Structure 1
């Protein structure tokens, strides 16, 4: 399911316009992105949690050329499924 499919389902199941559903989904996603950018953890009970992990820089190799390259430090989003979601998927 992608964002536009989620908007369509939200619109149909709640009898609201596509524009209203788009606003709800966009606000939800933007709020989550803002919280993660500020270093906060986002938890949706029964679904899972999101957080940002910090990775240090390191020296690596280009697999094609063998050349040594420096990989810059980075931040990446990390999702951990909640217990209820895991049970739902495995029952």
Structure 2
């Protein structure tokens, strides 16, 4: 099991586009053995935190390489969010 926390920041003025992108990309998780456990939005409207689990690291790697995900990101151009992913363990 692989657990990740993704910290997502949307560019100013592109919050709605970024949220739509995240909706679409998070919907792809299942095809790679992933599952969104929690999606939290910052009170600023520009930041999200996602807790995501994958059955195996290979699933995460295939999610990153998914051509549909890449196309969605490419379509956003400068409006694409910045994401930092942290691998975490339960404590």
Q: TM-score, normalised by structure 1?
A: 0.28
Larger Rg computed on CA atoms? 1
Structure number having the greater strand percentage: 2
Higher relative contact order (CA 8 A, sep 6+): 2
